[in-house]
Amino acid sequence: MEKNITYCGMPAKVGCDEKCNKAWGVMLRPKEQLSDDADDVVYLGDNELGDAPENPYTWEGVDGKPTCDSEKMNKWCVRQCERCVMTEYGKPDEPLIYKDWSKKRYNQPWKHNIK
């Protein structure tokens, strides 16, 4: 699903893979700490996790994680969902590059020879 929006007063395009059942939110997605560096983590892939909570108790204004199709691509999706992607502000015609959550995602891949 893709949608043109206004974000911080600029046009942008957002998209998602519509796998809300696997959407934890950026702060809650399970991860493993890899070193003493707090930012050196690996986020677990969908195949390593069960379904995400229907309500992760995070909100963006009045918007929470969508519970039905009519709520999809709300403020929670854009600001909280780790599966949502967005073009640069002012460049809504750029193609979206979706993240592959089928495998682990390293926050600092260069430290672990991951490409």
pLDDT surpasses 90 at 98:
yes
- Residue 49's pLDDT is what? 97
Q: Could you give the CA distance from residue 30 to residue 82 in angstroms, rounded to a whole number?
A: 11
Q: Return all residues near 34 (Cβ < 8 A) that are at least 6 apart.
A: 40, 41, 42, 106, 111, 112
Q: Could you give the CA distance from residue 59 to residue 80 in angstroms, rounded to a whole number?
A: 8
- Structure tokens belonging to residue 37: 């560096």
Q: Could you give the CA distance from residue 83 to residue 8 in angstroms, rounded to a whole number?
A: 20
Q: Return all residues near 103 (Cβ < 8 A) that are at least 6 apart.
A: 45, 47
- Residue 114's pLDDT is what? 85
Name the average pLDDT for the chain. 95
* pLDDT tens-digit readout, 54-92: 999 999 999 999 999 999 999 999 999 999 999 998 899
Q: Could you give the CA distance from residue 42 to residue 31 in angstroms, rounded to a whole number?
A: 5
Spatial contact of 43 and 82, defined as CB atoms under 8 Å apart = yes
